[in-house]
Chain A
Amino acid sequence: MESPRLEIDADGIAWVTFDDPDAKVNLLNPATVGQLDKILDGLLQRKPTGLVFISSKPDIFIAGADIKELEKIGNAAHGVELARAGHKIFGKIEQLGVPSVAAIDGACLGGGCELALACRFRVATDNPKTQIGLPETQLGIIPGWGGTQRLPRLIGLRAALDIIVAGKTVNAGKAVRIGLVDAAVPAVALRQVAVKLARGSGIPAATGRDKNFAPTRRMHWENRWPARPLICRIARKRTLAKTRGHYPSPLKAIDAVEQGLASSLENGLEIEAQIFGEVAATPVCKNLIRVFFLREKYSKLRVKGAESAKKIEKVGVLGAGVMGAGIAQWCSARGLTVRLKDIKTEFVAAGIKRIADIYRDGVKRRKVSALDAEHGMARVHPTTEYTGFSDCDLVIEAVLEKIEVKRQLYSELVPRLGKRCVIASNTSAIPIDELAEASGRPTEFVGIHFFNPVHRMPLVEVVRGTKTAPDVLATAVEFAKQLKKIPIVVKGAPGFLVNRLLMPYLNEAGKLLGEGVGIEAIDKAMLDFGMPMGPLRLIDEVGIDVAYDVARELAVAFSGRMSVAPVLQKIHDAGLKGRKGGKGFYVYAGKKERVNREFRGEERPATEIQHRLLEVMINEAKRCLSEGVVASEDDIDAGMIFGTGFPPFRGGLVQYARDSGLWV
């Protein structure tokens, strides 16, 4: 069956139903768009009384354009062409001159949203899966099928920029409030309301009290001079502050909106097409698309044995420190029951406070409802004893990075575990095989390495020991996915992937400092490169003691070619701890902070600093590949982007190396 398909009902209303038989989601690819065009041409001849767009896929209206098509855009002219073609097809909906309705149940994104915007009415279900928005800027492009023109005309400049610039989505409730849809209804009433609208019987004018119907359309003063340039200027300023100029598309989207509003819709669409073409062909766009596909690939990663992976319902977490508490919090937030143990009541109490603080912060930022936070908190069962581990499906050990401590723990813990319990360590320093042997159950042993802060960092390194059973490895991968983390599988070599690449980079920063380059110069150079944080500040955040331990660990493992930078050695010996101790490369006094003046340094060209720091990382990445620490270049890029915040617009470390000719 083809998608979309056309049916005309007894009332003469044309129902255009999207349901791609070959895919889980409906996408706007050349085939569907061509088919849509054909249908609309037919309707222009037959003149239906009304027109409804609907999907018969659960939880999906139209998820947007097929990104593989975007990837193919070779040059600006090609992009312009693509946008114009879309404009022409969507224009036909308006040309029909009959009431047209987008009946939205589920994801309505990008091109799907633009199709809905081209309709006279939009009705959406209150299904939580119903999300409407224009995420294009996240892929480095701008909405190209009328989104930048029709949305601000419909809901006003400010609300439109909110959605377009950040690439946000909104649910039905919010969509009604801002006027993006005309009504929010329960799924059972969707067709009924759509018919009403398509018959042109309209919707009840919104009274102040009814939240399910949008306010009657009004003039948007903010779309006009003098508010328009003012609002756009502020939006640009805010965007620049966030992107540091690395991401052109949000700014370009603002251009398209602003210039379009000053003109007719027709001219506006042409402006949009031009700008779309311009950004779609840039390398930033290609890189962001690459990151999109990397995210897709790794968040759906399947390894051998996935079919016999064990479902995880209860997790034991050993150690209530920063990592242990972070892991416990994240697991509980994803619905798992967590038994959290530490050796001292005080440590457990501190861990519980950490967890409560993360939840509290989440409630404040509206990432989680107060009720869900309460329930999540109630799933964490703290203790100082070894009770409550026999029914755990998986345990994660996150105690001190000392082999004797871990050995002791395993000897007490493992006999209390169920036969099929997976034993995991969050270690980042100790060889996984050594731990696997210490546990006495090496086949059930696996490394699951989270990154700090656990609730923010999407990457999880799943570490394969020499004896790890395939279904145990698969369980760990599936577990990471269940937690909505992004797993990569790595070999149990020192530092795994991320720390192995990061440490030489941080160490090199230390060497530069030792050569007399200033702290600020180094950190600023890497911020300018797009890193979320300068290397020296990162050491401060991680903790100088921790960074030093890892550096030394690696220096021992790779003696001969790695050594701890003298500066790091010195600052560690001086007893500085970084942010947690109030002093490191920076001095932290309350909310104020400044550079530690013990390290005076000079300026040096940013490109030189960047080159030095990246080169060591790239060389290490090559070694990781040849040693089989990871299996592919994609593993490296996913690891760096999702584990260290390596700038997504660069497409990953390997991608960057390729682009700059360093990958040979």
Chain B
Amino acid sequence: MTRLAIIDGIRTPFSKAGTDLKSLPAQELGRIVVSELLERTGIDRRIISQIIFGNVAQPPEAANIARVIALNAGIPQETPAYTVHRNCASGFEAVTSAYEKMVAGQGDVYVVGGTESMSNIPLLFSTAAADKFAALNRAKSFFGKVSAALSFRPGDFKPRIGVMLGLTDPVCGLNMGQTGEVLYRDFGISRAEQDAFALESHQRATKARAKLREETMTVYLPHGKFVEQDNGVRENQTTEALAKLKPVFDRRNGTVTAGNSSQLTDGAVALLVMSEDKAKKLSLEPLGYLRAYAYAGVDPQRMGLGPAYAIPKALGESGVKWDDVQLIEINEAFAVQVLAVELVLRKQFGLDINRDMLNVNGGAIALGHPVGASGARLVLTLLKEMERRHLKTGIASACVGGGQGAALILERD
């Protein structure tokens, strides 16, 4: 079977929204990782067939953000670029899109990745207010302008918060945290279990600092500061501290807190991928290969279960055996959601996850979840760890807002 070779990758540090990287818009974060990827790999930019980037918030000032990134990173203007969006799996989608282009015979070398600046998701005006602004803009005479201006009411200036809108499913009406609470009610996964999982994520990420540095570049900011490390990791996180937090999405009966959920984060990831043949021709030593993948649809109210269905689907379609899987990354949107996935995999599919194989370097609860970039980060983090441990097969998976799951089967040599 044809495989997509993943040659190398690099990411920015992941920074909590509103902190170190807040001054850089998503297109600049993307530009930085692509520039650095090109520098590190030394790849001839003229042989790149396409740039494919995942991004969720899609900044209004950078429509088709992949093209903006490509041009700003000095990719020749003749090289096309497009942006993909599958919510939290957008970073995966960039990789699998490249695969699809490749098997369709459309090129053989791609720069893919994901970028997100959750700090820079804009506030919006209501449609009613927007109409009034339009009327004001159209008004020609002085009196017309005054009367248009007088039509505004204080409520018109109340912003609609873009991040919140983006994290709310318009079909089922629940926001992502609330879908976590649905899983709590379905499976009865206790607050204590969730908090323990979250604590482990921080502890593993703390221990893996040096390893994570290997996939991270230093970002230099124009005012002379620089960012080297993921800043969401709480090195001194404790059970007690986690227990003190109030549930965010269901104040009275809820279990999902800021502590056992992923964080709003800024960050970007870039990967150089190409056909296996091309890698051989260029005598490059790939980090690993994309063997197979699957996307699965689930109930939007229980979107967190996505991996539980995507993983068996990917295994079934590729013929890879569960017993051969040596390492797993499941994106930690919410602790409750990963735990529910474990349960469903075991009960419904008879697939047991060994915790020693799961998110061994911590996950999004500690590192953060820049939605458009996370998928690409999971691929990178997983392959780097497989390399360290000399493993053959691994799975990277994530749940997707709107009720989907994604799973990528990756292998080395």
- Interface residues, chain A, CB within 8 Å of chain B? 337, 339, 345-346, 348-350, 352-353, 356, 360, 375, 377-379, 381-384, 387-388, 390-391
Which residues of chain B (59-117) have a CB below 8 Å from chain A?
72-74
> CB within 8 A of B72: which of A350, A360, A378, A383?
A378
Identify 21 residue pairs between A and B in the complex whose beta-carbon atoms are under 8 Å apart, listed by A's number.
A345-B226, A345-B228, A349-B220, A350-B224, A352-B220, A352-B221, A353-B222, A353-B224, A356-B222, A360-B222, A378-B31, A378-B35, A378-B73, A378-B74, A382-B218, A383-B36, A387-B39, A387-B42, A388-B38, A388-B39, A390-B42
Chain A's closest residue to B226 (CB) is: A349
Q: Are A383 and B39 in contact, CB atoms less than 8 angstroms apart?
A: yes
CA of A411 to CA of B225 in the docked complex: distance in angstroms?
30
Q: Across the interface, which residues of B come within 8 angstroms of A382, CB to CB?
A: 218, 220
Q: Across the interface, which residues of A come within 8 angstroms of B28, CB to CB?
A: 378
Chain A's closest residue to B217 (CB) is: A383
B248-287 Cβ-contact flags toward A at 8 Å (1 or 0): 0000000000000000000000000000000000000000
Nearest 10 CB-CB pairings of A with B: A388-B39, A353-B224, A356-B222, A352-B220, A349-B226, A387-B40, A390-B42, A382-B220, A378-B72, A381-B35
Q: Are A337 and B74 in contact, CB atoms less than 8 angstroms apart?
A: yes
Q: Across the interface, which residues of B come within 8 angstroms of A378, CB to CB?
A: 28, 31, 35, 72-74
B211-236 Cβ-contact flags toward A at 8 Å (1 or 0): 00000001011111110100000000
Give the most central of B28, B39, B226: most A CB within 10 Å: B39
With A345-B228, A378-B73 already in contact, the answer to whether A353 and B39 are too (CB < 8 A) is no
CA of A300 to CA of B238 in the docked complex: distance in angstroms?
69
Shortest CB distance B69–A (Å): 10
CA of A353 to CA of B42 in the docked complex: distance in angstroms?
26
Shortest CB distance B366–A (Å): 23
Q: Are B42 and A388 in contact, CB atoms less than 8 angstroms apart?
A: yes
CA of A377 to CA of B221 in the docked complex: distance in angstroms?
11
Q: Are A349 and B225 in contact, CB atoms less than 8 angstroms apart?
A: yes
Q: Across the interface, which residues of B come within 8 angstroms of A346, CB to CB?
A: 226
Q: Across the interface, which residues of B come within 8 angstroms of A353, CB to CB?
A: 222-224
Give the most central of B28, B38, B44, B74: most A CB within 10 Å: B74
CA of A360 to CA of B40 in the docked complex: distance in angstroms?
28
Q: Across the interface, which residues of A come within 8 angstroms of B73, CB to CB?
A: 378
Q: Across the interface, which residues of A come within 8 angstroms of B38, CB to CB?
A: 388
Which residues of chain B (158-173) have a CB below 8 Å from chain A?
none
Q: Across the interface, which residues of A come within 8 angstroms of B42, CB to CB?
A: 387-388, 390-391
Q: Are A356 and B223 in contact, CB atoms less than 8 angstroms apart?
A: yes
Q: Across the interface, which residues of A come within 8 angstroms of B220, CB to CB?
A: 348-349, 352, 382
Q: Across the interface, which residues of A come within 8 angstroms of B221, CB to CB?
A: 349, 352
Q: Are B39 and A352 in contact, CB atoms less than 8 angstroms apart?
A: no
Q: Are B74 and A388 in contact, CB atoms less than 8 angstroms apart?
A: no
CA of A379 to CA of B73 in the docked complex: distance in angstroms?
7
CA of A337 to CA of B36 in the docked complex: distance in angstroms?
12
CA of A591 to CA of B40 in the docked complex: distance in angstroms?
44
Q: Across the interface, which residues of B come within 8 angstroms of A352, CB to CB?
A: 220-222, 224, 226
CA of A356 to CA of B225 in the docked complex: distance in angstroms?
12
CA of A19 to CA of B120 in the docked complex: distance in angstroms?
55
Q: Across the interface, which residues of B come within 8 angstroms of A384, CB to CB?
A: 218
Chain B's closest residue to A346 (CB) is: B226
Q: Known A-B contacts: A349-B220, A353-B223, A356-B223. Give 7 more (CB < 8 A).
A: A345-B228, A377-B222, A378-B31, A378-B74, A383-B36, A388-B39, A391-B42
Shortest CB distance B74–A (Å): 6
Q: Across the interface, which residues of B come within 8 angstroms of A391, CB to CB?
A: 42, 44
Shortest CB distance A516–B (Å): 44
Shortest CB distance B45–A (Å): 9
Shortest CB distance A114–B (Å): 42
Q: Across the interface, which residues of B come within 8 angstroms of A381, CB to CB?
A: 35-36, 39
Shortest CB distance B237–A (Å): 27
CA of A357 to CA of B72 in the docked complex: distance in angstroms?
20
Chain B's closest residue to A377 (CB) is: B222
CA of A356 to CA of B23 in the docked complex: distance in angstroms?
14
Give the most central of B31, B44, B72: most A CB within 10 Å: B72
Q: Are B39 and A339 in contact, CB atoms less than 8 angstroms apart?
A: yes
Q: Are A375 and B72 in contact, CB atoms less than 8 angstroms apart?
A: yes
CA of A220 to CA of B31 in the docked complex: distance in angstroms?
52
Which residues of chain B (182-238) have a CB below 8 Å from chain A?
218, 220-226, 228
CA of A378 to CA of B34 in the docked complex: distance in angstroms?
11
CA of A82 to CA of B64 in the docked complex: distance in angstroms?
61
Chain A's closest residue to B38 (CB) is: A388
CA of A391 to CA of B73 in the docked complex: distance in angstroms?
16
CA of A383 to CA of B220 in the docked complex: distance in angstroms?
9
Q: Are B226 and A348 in contact, CB atoms less than 8 angstroms apart?
A: yes
> CB within 8 A of B40: which of A337, A345, A388?
A388
Chain A's closest residue to B72 (CB) is: A378
CA of A382 to CA of B40 in the docked complex: distance in angstroms?
12
Chain A's closest residue to B223 (CB) is: A353
Chain B's closest residue to A350 (CB) is: B224
Q: Across the interface, which residues of B come within 8 angstroms of A379, CB to CB?
A: 74
Q: Across the interface, which residues of B come within 8 angstroms of A387, CB to CB?
A: 39-40, 42
CA of A457 to CA of B39 in the docked complex: distance in angstroms?
30
B11-46 Cβ-contact flags toward A at 8 Å (1 or 0): 000000000000000001001000110111010100
CA of A97 to CA of B127 in the docked complex: distance in angstroms?
62
Q: Across the interface, which residues of B come within 8 angstroms of A383, CB to CB?
A: 36, 39, 218
Q: Are B224 and A349 in contact, CB atoms less than 8 angstroms apart?
A: yes
CA of A388 to CA of B41 in the docked complex: distance in angstroms?
8
Chain B's closest residue to A360 (CB) is: B222
Shortest CB distance A357–B (Å): 8
Q: Across the interface, which residues of A come within 8 angstroms of B224, CB to CB?
A: 349-350, 352-353, 356
CA of A500 to CA of B68 in the docked complex: distance in angstroms?
48
Shortest CB distance B48–A (Å): 14
CA of A161 to CA of B39 in the docked complex: distance in angstroms?
51
Chain B's closest residue to A354 (CB) is: B224
Q: Across the interface, which residues of A come within 8 angstroms of B218, CB to CB?
A: 345, 348, 382-384
Shortest CB distance A664–B (Å): 54
Chain A's closest residue to B225 (CB) is: A349
Chain B's closest residue to A378 (CB) is: B72
Q: Across the interface, which residues of A come within 8 angstroms of B39, CB to CB?
A: 339, 381, 383, 387-388
Chain B's closest residue to A375 (CB) is: B72
CA of A348 to CA of B28 in the docked complex: distance in angstroms?
19
Give the most central of A350, A353, A375, A379: most B CB within 10 Å: A353
CA of A381 to CA of B31 in the docked complex: distance in angstroms?
11
Chain A's closest residue to B35 (CB) is: A381
Shortest CB distance A318–B (Å): 15
Chain A's closest residue to B41 (CB) is: A387
